[in-house]
Structure formats: structure tokens, C-alpha cells
A and B are shown apart, each in its own frame.
Chain A
């Protein structure tokens, strides 16, 4: 109850029990199956998980970019500043997208339209959402490019995407996302396609943005290092569900879910040499043939009969640390 009250006042974004399903020729895929997330104003939420866990679909659902066919949002709520985005008309959603919620994608090489200059593409957002004239929009575009650290912005604004490097393009994407000063920036694997030195640049830039504009960021990534560096809070996803949620420090130092724990241990760390890496056995099941009970039970070393029968709910274990497990760890790697 207390928590509920807190949410109402303090969450910028609250995703409740979101269900997004894809209907493909091969069958029904419950890509997101009851995901609940929260993002507070100015906060960075890291969403981690392996491929196919539904993290990107969650982001696209929030943006209203799930197209039918094949995708369909079948349940839940997406409250943004208290309003349910799922109840919005397409026009209303358009006014929010790119304006109050912006998104950047993984592939800076393909996410920009090759036939328009970057200035056009940034300016377009301003023209549409803010009613700028073309000239004003171009001026503002230069300013935005400068603010994301692109040198010679006046020249760059007239260039086409293919004339830029990947890092530069991702900066352009960020500039475009920031154009309307959004409250929430969804970054879907923003640095995955970039080299590590460029990744460092972009991560610095995002931190800087967060500080300068107070933009809340929902950072989706599979890279635990990136999450650790960027996120205030972390949601760990597995097979369309959030399995663990908590502050970054909690998640990394005291993981409660066997999956999170396994994930952390199986990642080689710079400067820490281990003879042998920890292994999470098996592979992620095909979502069309989901295991019953806890979705992780077939790979979990602690799984019991109960885990195979019944699915645990996301439950608070320690203040604001929640976990979806019958046998959560004690935070030091031991089963409670």
C-alpha cells in the first residue's frame, strides 16, 4: 500500500503487467509476458537480459511501435506521467513519441534515413512537434549536434548519414532524440554496435545528458558492464518476464535470482582472472515451448519440484529489491 502511494507520485513511467504477443506463421510467441517496470524522473533504469528476453519488445511497446500484424499488445498498462499510453489514440501517441518519450536504437548505421541530411532528420522532429520553421529547425539542429559533441556542427548538419562514422551517427540519433527535450529516453542497446572506445564516448555523453537535462533513461542492454556503469536501478529480464529488480548496487553485489547470479558469474571480468568461468547450463527455451512453472527452472541449479509446477511472482525481498523466485539467494550467493 505504501509502495503504491509512492509509485503514484514518483514514477515517470510505470509499466504494469504488460503482455505483448507476436503471431507469426510458426506460431504464437509471447515475447513480453507480464512485465512490470518503473522509471522515476531523472533516473536511469537498466534493463538487462539475453537476446529474446523481451527487453526490446517492451521498449517498442512503450513507444507504441508494435505493429499488427505480427505483434499485438494484449494486456497491461503503460502509465506515463500517470496517463495510460495504451489508451491513447494513434494521434495522441504520435504527439508523445519523439517529443515526451524518445528512443534511440542499436544500429546507428541503419537507423538514419540514407537519403536525407542529418539536419533534415533532426529538424523534422522539431517541425512536427514544436512547429518550427525549416530554417529554425536547422538552426536548432546545429545547436543539438554541438551539444552531443559533434565538431563542426554547421558542416555536419548538411551531411548525409553515410558520410559519418558509427559513433557520429549514434550522436546524431541522440541529438534527434533530445530535440524536444523528452522526459524519458529509451536507449535500446545504444552502444552494442560500437567499438569499445566509441562506446566509452557515447556512455559519457549519455551520462552528461542525464546530468544536464535531467532526462530519465531506460537503458536496454545485454552488457552487464554498461548497466553497472550507467544504471541507478536495474531490471533483469528472462523470457518475457522481469525476474529481478533493484538498485544497481544491490543487483550486482547481492543478486537474489539464480539467473542474475549465474549471469554475473559467467561474465569474464577485466582484471579478474578465473581458471574457469561459471556456466549457466542449457539454452534459453523456445518461447513457443515455454516450460511450466518458473521459466528458468530447466537451467536452474536450485530448482525444486515446486519450481517446475508453479510460477513464482515478483516479490519484494529487501525493501525495493524484488525477485521472482521461490528460492532466492541470500545476496551472498547462498540459497535462503
Chain B
């Protein structure tokens, strides 16, 4: 097992290097020189050259890459071109919000999607199943921003207690208002974004769970469990569900990067100060350092997520053993 872990970790290295090269190349081949964007329109070539040197953009691209990689390995993603602050500061101040929103979304998705998927599998082709299918497809088919705006107008403005944008009421915190009032306040802000985000992603997991469950209840060992005379509940929960949940573990690994990268559009609409917004703006401003850091961290998390999923799989599924 340890061997396997080490091997998988080592395999990540070329992968991450490949990612970093592509990442770096895309950004540096992009038209829209950040120096031109940052400087005055009538700056002289000498002035531009000076600024370019200040930002270290005057060197050949491979030198820039090596330097950048060197810093990244030390955990330093450089500073934003636009405001000069360390990229990590930018990311770290946004990360909690993104994690917060997506974590809640994830919990809700799993809490709802798993039972829903299981029930619709058990009652395949029932009314419930059709309704679930419809709602999951609906969630996938609705353009999320449209749905979000409709929600804001339909619910947010009409009801006074449901805030439409932001994270919290200014001044409401545990010190001033007490724990419960604070929690209630935060919860109110979560309702709309969480609804929009979860509706879209719930579908996938519910469908996945449904088909996984359908697959499992056809298995011989489920028939064996029934033949043993076990109550249906035990058959479903102990024998079928446990196996059907195994592949979901892999999905959890994939959720990790999703937790990080956030949902740019939803963040725009609900003024949610997460990473999605940050990276979107950075892309438009050609703030290379931030974009590269975001891509790099996102990709690393993706790779780690995959790795974690594999390891989790080994842990939860006794069949899989690695030498």
C-alpha cells in the first residue's frame, strides 16, 4: 500500500510539470500584453521596457518559466501585476468563501442526491423515478445564470428576509448578535446561491447513484442476501447501498477541485467573494500570476483528488489491493 502511494505520488510529478508548461504557455502566448494594459497608452518604448524588466517579463520565456517554477516550488506564486499583492494573499482571502459555499453545496447535494438516486433506482420507472429524472434534467438544462436572476427577482426582492447578494449582514457576528442570530444570518445569505449551484450539480450525482444502485441490485450477492431471508431494509442498506456507494467515493475525489475552482458565474450574480470571481477577473486583466496560480492549484487539487479517490477506493473496497 505504501509502495502504491509513493508510486502514485511520483507519477504526479511529470503530470504536474506538463500542466505547468501548458499553463505557462497558454498565458504567455495570449495576446493582450499585461505591460501594455498596465502602462500609459503613450508610454515610450523605453518606459515599457523598464516596466517589463521590473515585472521580469523581459527574459526569454523558458527562463521566465524556470524562475516561476522555482518560486512555485517554494510555494510562492509571485505577485499580482495589477495590485502588487502576493498571489497567495489573493487566493487565501477568497478561498474560505469558495470552500464555505461549495462545501455546503456538496453536503446538500450528497444528502439529497444519494437517497433520491437510491429511491428512484429501487422504484425504477415509478412516478417518483420519473419526477426525479425530470428534476435532475431540469437542473442540468436550466442556464444557471438565468435561473439565478429569476430567483433573485421572484424570491429575493419580494421577500424581505432573503438577501440577494453577499455573504453576511455587515455587523452581524457572534460578538454583536450571538451565535444563533449569526448562524441564521449566514444561512439566509446561503439560500439562493446554494439553491442555484446545487440544482445544477445534484443531477449528476443523483443519476450516477441511480445507475450505480440499479447495477448493484442486479448483482448475485444481493440475490444471495435475499435468499438468506434478510429483511429488505438490510438487503438494500447493508448489501446493495454499501456497494453502490463505492464509485461515489471516486466522485468525492473529483469534488475537491470543484470545491476550489468555484462557480464564477454564480459568484458574479450573488456577489460571492470567491475564487471564481478572482480568476475570472484575472483572466480579463491578464494578471498572469493569478491565473497561473489558480490553474496550477486547481490542477494540483484535481490530481490530488484523483489520487485521494484511488486511495479511498483501496480503503473502502476490500477487493482492490495494491502491491
Q: How far is the CA of A162 from the CA of B225 in the complex (A)?
A: 17
Which among A107-115, A133-141, A205-213 touches the partner chain?
A107-115
The answer, among B224, B229, B243, B316, for a CB contact under 8 Å with A128, is B229
Residues of chain A lying within 8 A (CB to CB) of residue B238: 124
A102 in contact (CB, < 8 A): yes
Interface size class of A (residues with CB under 8 A): 20 to 34
Query: Are A113 and B243 in contact (CB-based, < 8 A)?
Result: yes
A237 in contact (CB, < 8 A): no
Q: How far is the CA of A94 from the CA of B230 in the complex (A)?
A: 6
Query: Are A115 and B231 in contact (CB-based, < 8 A)?
Result: no
Query: Are B226 and A97 in contact (CB-based, < 8 A)?
Result: yes
A65 in contact (CB, < 8 A): yes
Query: Are A115 and B243 in contact (CB-based, < 8 A)?
Result: yes
Q: How far is the CA of A235 from the CA of B228 in the complex (A)?
A: 26
Residues of chain B lying within 8 A (CB to CB) of residue A95: 229
What 1/0 flags go to A44-66 for Cβ under 8 Å of B? 00000000000000000001010
Q: How far is the CA of A28 from the CA of B221 in the complex (A)?
A: 27
Residues of chain B lying within 8 A (CB to CB) of residue A162: 318-319
Residues of chain A lying within 8 A (CB to CB) of residue B318: 114-115, 160, 162
Q: How far is the CA of A173 from the CA of B221 in the complex (A)?
A: 11
What 1/0 flags go to B210-228 for Cβ under 8 Å of A? 0000000001110111111
Query: Are B243 and A96 in contact (CB-based, < 8 A)?
Result: no
B239 in contact (CB, < 8 A): yes
Query: Are B317 and A115 in contact (CB-based, < 8 A)?
Result: yes
Residues of chain B lying within 8 A (CB to CB) of residue A96: 229
B53 in contact (CB, < 8 A): no
Query: Are B317 and A114 in contact (CB-based, < 8 A)?
Result: yes
Query: Are B221 and A110 in contact (CB-based, < 8 A)?
Result: yes
The answer, among B220, B228, B232, B319, for a CB contact under 8 Å with A98, is B228
Chief secondary structure at chain B's binding surface: helix
Q: How far is the CA of A285 from the CA of B246 in the complex (A)?
A: 41
A38 in contact (CB, < 8 A): no
What 1/0 flags go to B223-265 for Cβ under 8 Å of A? 1111111111010001100110010000000000000000000
What 1/0 flags go to B184-226 for Cβ under 8 Å of A? 0000000000000000000000000000000000011101111
The answer, among A65, A115, A129, A160, for a CB contact under 8 Å with B226, is A65
The answer, among B226, B228, B243, B319, for a CB contact under 8 Å with A124, is B228
The answer, among A112, A114, A129, A160, for a CB contact under 8 Å with B229, is A129
Q: How far is the CA of A111 from the CA of B228 in the complex (A)?
A: 12
A307 in contact (CB, < 8 A): no
Query: Are B319 and A160 in contact (CB-based, < 8 A)?
Result: yes
Interface residues of A (CB under 8 A from B): 63, 65, 90, 93-99, 102-103, 105, 107, 110-115, 124-125, 128-129, 160, 162, 173, 176
23 A/B residue pairs, CB under 8 Å, sorted by A: A63-B226, A63-B227, A95-B229, A98-B228, A102-B228, A105-B220, A105-B223, A105-B224, A105-B227, A107-B220, A111-B221, A111-B224, A113-B224, A113-B243, A114-B221, A114-B318, A115-B242, A115-B243, A115-B318, A124-B228, A124-B238, A162-B319, A173-B224
Q: What are the nearest 5 A-B pairs in CB distance?
A: A98-B229, A97-B229, A98-B228, A110-B220, A113-B221
